[in-house]
Every structure is written in structure tokens, then in C-alpha cells.
Amino acid sequence: MTAQAALIRRDIRIAVRVGGGALIGVLFFLTVVVLMPFAVGPDLALLTRLGPAILWLGALLASLLTLDRLFMADHEDGSLDLIVMSRTPLELACATKALAHWMAAGLPLIVATPVLGLLLNLDTRSTAAVALTLLAGTPSLTFTGMIGAALAVTLHRGGLLLAVLVLPLSIPVLIFGVAASQAAISGLSFGAPFSILCALSLVSFVVGPFAAAASLRHGLD
Amino acid sequence: MTLIDLANPSKFLSLTARVLPWLAAVTAIVLAIGLYQSATAPDDYQQGATVKIMFVHVPNAWLSMLVWGVMSLAALGTLVWRHPLADVAAKAAAPIGAAFTFLALVTGSLWGRPMWGTYWEWDARLTSVLILFLMYLGLIALWRAVEDPSRAARAAAVLTLVGAINLPIIKFSVDWWNTLHQPASVMRLGGPTLDRAFLVPLLMMAAAFSLLFVTLLLAAMRNEILRRRLRSLQMMQARAFSSEVDAGSREKTVPFGAA
């Protein structure tokens, strides 16, 4: 347990320090949301209607953007080899790293959501609904994206390839995240889509670490 | 002849060289029968002659999913048994699967135009087939991004298996998201609702397309094996050349040092 705690503390510390780049994700999120009114027009009623979708897309892209740092930096300075060879099972180490990454790069997105909701003319209830669905859904984005990050580091390719591989896998989360937010806003049943969103996150907690560990184990040389 | 014997690419090449012409002939015959039966099948009382698009569309759609299943088995072969032909099969199957998926989309779109009045509708089945197509393209991009085939094979195997787990989830999500397409009418409990006049040609066409897939897969695997041999021969040649150059430069430097 102490090994995991140490790994989390180390990863968060690296992420928030100079060169870490965790907070660039939030800046990107803000920029994407600010760009939207320029594309669809400053019509507040339309923005209110599109708000949850815009916030979800922004969060999806922002979490994707920070993903290729997940293993790449560790691979470059050699600490990934130490993690692979350590006594901690690689699956557990991957899950820990993903958790740390989510805490450093995912949580700030959720904290920023109320401010961005204000820009999109969302009321308190809608903003709370979007923030809650993001809280339930973004871990799934990180854990699924970790598979792509692990593939990218073993192939020495990142960027666009990672995005192309990971984005189709994140469609269910996007569907149920937006569905749950819309349901909460329009007063429909919030429970069903929200529970499925949570279930998707739980599935990704299982699949993500195993697939990422398999990819690292088979791919690193 | 077991799966292990086939691990030797030379044995595989000689066996498929004997099997392939027969397989291709059987495929051509079954396809001809299927096409004849499709052409002579009666028109639907509602859809008219356009119902015949089904005989091409539905086998393509089945194959688009079946090929991912075959690739998942090959991925297990790569990761679990390290079978040397498994990654060859997986790599050869990906473009074929993408082609079937693309044809399913195109024929579906051509069918949708007279039936629904639009080429594209964001309905659940169309959308999930489109996502499947995107995943095929992503997989092909992954194969093409890396030069070393064995390294690419293991990454592609992981992605294929992750896709196999995720595809049903994506399908379910998209179903939830929107449903306009008619529900499944052949593969369901209580027998098919399709009339025999349509079912027989459809099954014949499905058999023909499956045979076509096996034929294309074996041919593509042969090509891939030959391509890899060519690659290793070229690398050997390049290595021999560079060592020759090294030896040549050493010969030049030795007299210089001696002098």
C-alpha cells in the first residue's frame, strides 16, 4: 500500500511542477469551451441547450491531450523500467498511475466546470449535473485512455495515433455522460444513465490496467 | 496436420498453395449460385426490387463482425501461444474486415435512400457499424505506424482484444442512444421471421461471402509471409553490404596506419 501511495504522491508532484503539464489540460478545456460560441454564435439559449455536450466534449479532448504523458515521461527517464521490474504487480502499478493521473489532470477539469457552466449560461442544477457526471465518467476516460498510452509508449508513437485508437472506445462514456446530464436537466430519470455511466467506469477499472500492463509487458524491450 | 505443424511458414505456404485454387473455385461456384438465387428471388411486396440489396448488405454486415472475431482469436494466438502465423493472420484480416464493413455501410446507405429517403441516418445500427469501421481503420493505422512486425503485432493484439470487449458495450450504448433501424429478424429466438424465398438466397450469399473471406485471408497471409521474407532478405543484404563497406574502409585505413 505504501508503494502505491508513494507512486501517487510522486506522480502528482511531477504533474503539478514545472514541466508536468497537468494544468495545461484545464487551460485547453477552457479554450475549447470559449471557442464554441465563436463557432455556433453567441445565442445564449442555444448554448444552454448544447452546454452539457460542449463541456463533455471539452473534457474528453482535454483528458485525451494529457494522456500521452502518462507513460512517456517515465519511459524516457527510465523509471518505467523500474516500475515494471518492481515487486508491485504491473496491473496494480498501472491502476495507481492512472489514478494519480486522474487526480492531477481529471479533477481540475471538474473543479473548472462551474466556471465554464457560467460561460455557457447553465443554471446551478445543470452545472451540478454535468460536474457529477464528469466526476463519474472521467476516470473511465483516463483508464481506457491508459491502454492507448501504453500502446503508444511501446511503439514510440504518440499524438494522433493515440487519439485515433482511444476516441472510439470512449463513445459509450460520452453517450451516457451527456444522456445523464440531459436527463437531470430536463427532469427525466437520472438514475438509469448515471448508473450505466458508473458501470462503464467500473468496467474500465478492470479492463484498463490489465490491457495496459499486457501491452507494457509484451511491448517494452 | 495440427495447428502446431502450420507454425512453420514453409509448410503453410505449400499447403495453402494446394488448397487455395480449390477454395477459390468453390467460392466462385457458391457465389454464382447465391447471385442466381438472389436475382430470381421474388420482389418484396413493400420494398419492391430494392430488397435484393439485402442479399449483399446483410452478409457484408455479418462478415464485418465475424472478421473482428477471427482477429480476436488470432490476437489470443499472438499473446498466449506466440503462434508465428497468428499475427500474420491478424494483420491480413484487418484490411479485409475494413473492406467488408465499408461495403456494409455503402450498401446500407444505398438501401436506405429508397427506403428511408436518406443516404445517412444517425440510427443505432448504422452508427455502430460506422464506429466499427473507424476501429478497423485505427487498427490498420497501428499496423502501419510501426516497422517491426512483431512489435506491431503485440500492440495490435492488445487493441484487438480491448476492441472485442468494448464493441458490445459500444453497440449497446449506441442502441440506447437512438433506435430507428428495424430489429434483428434472422438471428433471434423463435426462428427467423424472414420468408424462405428470401432466407435461402441470403444464407447462400452468407456462405459465399464467408468462403470469400477465407480465400482472401489465406491469399493475404501468403502475401504477408512473402513480404516478411523479402524484408528479412533485404535487411540481410543491407547488413552484408554495410559490413562489406566497413571491411573496405578498414582495408583503406590499414595501409594508411602502416604507412
The string of pLDDT tens digits covering residues B222-251 is 999 998 888 889 989 988 888 877 776 655
Q: What is the DSSP string of A1-64?
A: -HHHHHHHHHHHHHHHSTTT-HHHHHHHHHHHHHHHHHHH-S-HHHHHHHHHHHHHHHHHHHHH
Interhelix angle A171-186/A44-67, rounded to 10 degrees, is 150
Three-state DSSP state, B48: strand
Selection from A147, A7, A145 nearest residue A74 by Cα? A7
Q: Tens of pLDDT along chain A (221 residues)?
A: 688 888 888 888 888 887 667 788 888 889 988 888 888 888 888 888 888 888 999 999 988 888 877 888 888 888 888 888 888 888 999 999 999 989 888 898 999 999 888 888 888 888 888 899 999 999 999 999 999 888 888 887 767 888 888 888 888 899 888 888 888 888 777 888 889 899 999 999 999 999 999 888 887 76
Q: What separation, in Å, do the N-terminal and C-terminal C-alpha atoms of chain A show?
A: 28
Q: What is the DSSP string of A65-116?
A: HHHTHHHHHHHHHTHHHHHHHSSS-HHHHHHHHHHHHIIIIIHHHHHHHHHH
In sequence order, the β-bridge partners of residue B48 are B44
What's the confidence (pLDDT) of residue B45? 65
From the candidates A71, A216, A218, A221, which should be mutated to test the interface with B, based on the most B CB atoms within 10 A? A218
The string of pLDDT tens digits covering residues B78-98 is 888 888 888 889 999 999 999
What's the confidence (pLDDT) of residue A98? 92
- Residue B16: count of CB within 10 angstroms of its CB: 16
Proportion of chain B in helix, strand, coil states, percent, rounded to 5: 80, 0, 15
Three-state DSSP state, B156: helix
Selection from A190, A174, A163 nearest residue B173 by Cα? A174
C-alpha cell at B18: 494446394
Is the pLDDT at B203 greater than 70? The verdict is: yes
CB-based contact A218 B174, cutoff 8 Å: no
Query: Does B174 reach chain A within 8 Å, measured CB to CB?
Result: yes
Q: Which residue in chain B has the smallest CA separation from A199? A: B169
From the candidates A176, A200, A215, A220, which should be mutated to test the interface with B, based on the most B CB atoms within 10 A? A215
Q: Which residue in chain A has the smallest CA separation from B127? A: A171
Residue B111 vs residue A220, higher pLDDT: B111
Three-state DSSP state, A201: helix
Is the pLDDT at B100 greater than 90? The verdict is: yes
How far out from the chain centre does Cα B89 lie? Answer: 9
Is the pLDDT at B257 greater than 70? The verdict is: no
d(CA B161, CA B164): 5
pTM: 0.84
Phi-psi region of B2 (alpha: psi -120 to 50; beta: other; left: phi over 0): beta
Query: Does B259 reach chain A within 8 Å, measured CB to CB?
Result: no
B162 close to A148: Cβ distance less than 8 angstroms: no
What's the confidence (pLDDT) of residue B252? 53
* pLDDT band for position B187 (cuts 50, 70, 90): very low
ipTM of the complex: 0.84
- Residue B140: count of CB within 10 angstroms of its CB: 16
From the candidates A169, A174, A181, which should be mutated to test the interface with B, based on the most B CB atoms within 10 A? A169
Is the pLDDT at B193 greater than 70? The verdict is: no
Mean pLDDT of all residues in B14-33: 89
CA distances in angstroms from B177 to A61, A129, B58, B245, listed in the order given: 21, 19, 23, 64
What's the confidence (pLDDT) of residue B133? 92
C-alpha cell at B82: 506466440
> Which of A157, A176, A214 faces B145 most closely, judged by CB atoms?
A157
From the candidates A71, A141, A162, A165, which should be mutated to test the interface with B, based on the most B CB atoms within 10 A? A165
* pLDDT band for position B46 (cuts 50, 70, 90): low
CB-based contact A155 B145, cutoff 8 Å: yes
A135 close to A59: Cβ distance less than 8 angstroms: no
> Which of B135, B155, B174 faces A219 most closely, judged by CB atoms?
B155
Is the pLDDT at B180 greater than 60? The verdict is: no
How far out from the chain centre does Cα B160 lie? Answer: 12
What's the confidence (pLDDT) of residue B184? 52
What's the confidence (pLDDT) of residue B189? 45
CB-based contact B155 A176, cutoff 8 Å: no
Chain B segment 130-159 residues within 8 A of A by beta carbon are: 131, 134-135, 137-138, 141-142, 145-146, 151-152, 154-155, 157-159
Is the pLDDT at B155 greater than 50? The verdict is: yes
CB-based contact B158 A147, cutoff 8 Å: yes
CB pairs under 8 A between A and B: 77
